[in-house]
């Protein structure tokens, strides 16, 4: 299967999409159109969702934006939100449609929405007032994602949640798969709570043997030796 530098969602249309495709090809990137599960542009393992100011506000109010961010977080290693559009033009368009908006009000909502996204998700947001800069951002992002770190030696650190750490710990216990680990965390909330037999009994699919093994691993002060089957090749 041929891997392309930039994959554009087949449903994506408009001046931004055309500008991104044009700049990407000019920069020597291979471009393809495919149906993406979520997001508008795919740069290897990184996903970019692009929204105008109006789209951002509408999807935020309806809840669609937050579902999109959840899906991007679940499906891609890194994800970015590209917000584009002039605040002045957005205000003027709203007034033409009979809505009363001020530049300050739009600026405050835009800043607040971006702040919430960056606080609640491992998502980086880039805002630009025009399409040309937005398209340039996508091509530059590809370059930065696929080139070695710069000589100043700084390293990008991906934020890991405490829930991710708990999952890694529990998945190391034989017999505990992803679904069962999710149920454990949902029911017990913390590893400390899993040390109580009554709490473990509430978890569907966790039989007596697995409960005993998990309790030993979590509470024993001595090393717990676990036999693992190794398939011969």
Instruction: Kindly list the averaged pLDDT for each block of 10 residues, start to end, along the chain of length 233.
Output: 82 90 90 90 91 93 92 89 91 84 89 91 90 90 78 52 68 79 80 76 84 76 53 42
- Ramachandran angles phi, psi of 8, nearest 5°: -105, 135
Per-residue confidence (pLDDT) for residue 158, from 0 to 100: 53
C-alpha dihedral, 64 to 68 to 69 to 73, nearest 10°:
150
pTM for this entry: 0.62
Q: How many CB atoms lie within 10 A of CB 46?
A: 20
| Residue pair 17/8 in contact by the 8 Å Cβ criterion | yes
Per-residue confidence (pLDDT) for residue 79, from 0 to 100: 92
For residue 227, give the DSSP letter. -
Q: Nearest-CA neighbor of 121 among 47, 62, 61, 11?
A: 47
* Domains of the chain: residue spans and CATH: 6-145 (3.40.50.10130), 162-219 (1.10.150.20)
C-alpha dihedral, 113 to 116 to 121 to 124, nearest 10°:
60
Structure tokens, 14: 């408009």
Cα separation, 162 vs 35, whole angstroms: 33
Per-residue confidence (pLDDT) for residue 162, from 0 to 100: 55
Per-residue confidence (pLDDT) for residue 223, from 0 to 100: 60
Per-residue confidence (pLDDT) for residue 56, from 0 to 100: 94
């Amino acid at each position: 299967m041929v891997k392309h530098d930039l994959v554009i969602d087949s449903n994506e249309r408009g001046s931004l999409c055309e500008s991104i495709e044009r700049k990407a090809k000019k920069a020597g990137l291979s471009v393809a159109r495919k149906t993406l599960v979520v997001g508008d542009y795919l740069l290897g393992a990184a996903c970019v969702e692009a929204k105008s100011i109006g789209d951002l506000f509408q999807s935020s109010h309806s809840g669609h934006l937050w579902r999109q961010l959840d899906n991007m977080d679940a499906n891609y290693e890194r994800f970015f939100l590209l917000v584009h559009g002039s605040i002045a033009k957005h205000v003027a368009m709203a007034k033409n449609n009979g809505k009363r908006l001020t530049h300050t009000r739009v600026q405050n909502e835009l800043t607040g929405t971006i702040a919430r996204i960056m606080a609640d998700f491992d998502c980086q947001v880039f805002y630009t007032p025009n399409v040309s800069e937005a398209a340039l951002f996508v091509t530059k992002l590809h370059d930065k994602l696929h080139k070695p770190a710069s000589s100043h030696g700084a390293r990008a650190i991906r934020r890991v949640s405490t829930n991710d750490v708990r999952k890694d710990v529990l998945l190391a216990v034989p017999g505990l798969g992803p679904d069962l680990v999710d149920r454990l965390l949902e029911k017990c909330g913390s590893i400390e709570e899993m040390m109580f037999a009554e709490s473990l009994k509430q978890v569907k699919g966790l039989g007596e043997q697995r409960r005993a093994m998990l309790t030993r691993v979590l509470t024993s002060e001595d090393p717990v030796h676990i036999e693992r089957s190794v398939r011969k090749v």
